[in-house]
């Protein structure tokens, strides 16, 4: 495969940085790097631009380092809240990803940070506070506190007690109605109550009449 040399005029991940001279496939340079303005051909005239590119690169990297240094100081004092769905037992559905953290940094603090700079050493699958590493620069690292909270309403003891009380209150009218119905079943409304002692009195009267 034919190779050609080019001068990069901006960073290309996996290839090199601004002002670097690199060898690439001729087709890759012709069809991608050169048309996109990511590189220029390595010629005598273009070689003279290398020093200017190096100077520009040094200034940009110094500016980036200073910006990241300030960010490192500020972000270490922040607590980034990430809300997730959980089950009734409090178990988190899925994991908290660098992309989710980057989104919340932007939403909560207006901090734009590439998710590739957020390093989560172990998957975050639990509620509470966690620390993640921020690789802000080749020579600069920081940490960020992430608090994972649930969006699922917590079931408290008070809520459970209230639900049980409501269930008992709803059940009470049915219990009273059933008790009243049972009591009514033992009384025959078609038969008047029999007075105590009346049958004996009638029997005595019949005996006297016979005599």
What is the mean pLDDT of each successive set of 10 residues along the chain, which is 211 residues long?
87 87 92 92 85 87 90 92 88 92 96 93 92 90 94 63 71 60 56 53 52 48
User: Per-residue b/e over 127-155, b at no fewer than 16 CB within 10 Å?
Assistant: eeebebebebbeeeebebebebebeeeee
Residue corresponding to tokens 């009267």: 205
What is the number of other CB atoms lying within 10 angstroms of the CB of residue 110?
Answer: 7
15, two tokens: 């290839």
Measured distance CA(127)–CA(149) in Å, rounded: 6
pTM for this model (two decimals):
0.57
In this predicted structure, what is the pLDDT of residue 45?
Answer: 82
Domains of the chain: 3-70 (3.40.5.10), 72-150 (3.10.430.100)
Measured distance CA(145)–CA(143) in Å, rounded: 7
In this predicted structure, what is the pLDDT of residue 18?
Answer: 86
In this predicted structure, what is the pLDDT of residue 174?
Answer: 56
Measured distance CA(61)–CA(117) in Å, rounded: 16
């Amino acid at each position: 495969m034919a190779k050609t040399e080019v001068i990069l005029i901006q960073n290309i991940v996996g290839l090199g940085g601004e002002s670097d001279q690199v060898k690439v496939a001729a087709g890759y340079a012709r069809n991608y790097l050169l048309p996109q303005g990511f590189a220029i051909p390595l010629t005598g005239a273009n070689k003279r631009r290398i020093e200017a590119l190096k100077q520009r690169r040094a200034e940009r990297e110094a500016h980036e380092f200073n910006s990241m240094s300030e960010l490192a100081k500020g972000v270490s004092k922040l607590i980034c809240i990430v809300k997730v769905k959980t089950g009734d037992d409090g178990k988190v559905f899925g994991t908290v990803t660098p992309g989710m953290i980057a989104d919340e940094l932007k939403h909560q603090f207006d901090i734009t940070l590439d998710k590739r700079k957020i390093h989560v050493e172990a998957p975050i699958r639990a509620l509470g506070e966690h620390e993640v590493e921020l690789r802000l620069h080749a020579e600069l690292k920081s940490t960020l506190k992430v608090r994972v909270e649930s969006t699922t309403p917590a079931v408290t003891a008070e809520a459970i007690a209230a639900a049980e009380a409501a269930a008992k209150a709803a059940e009470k009218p049915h219990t009273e109605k059933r008790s009243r119905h049972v009591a009514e079943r033992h009384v025959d409304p078609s038969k008047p109550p029999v007075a105590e002692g009346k049958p004996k009195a009638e029997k005595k009267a019949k005996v006297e009449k016979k005599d």
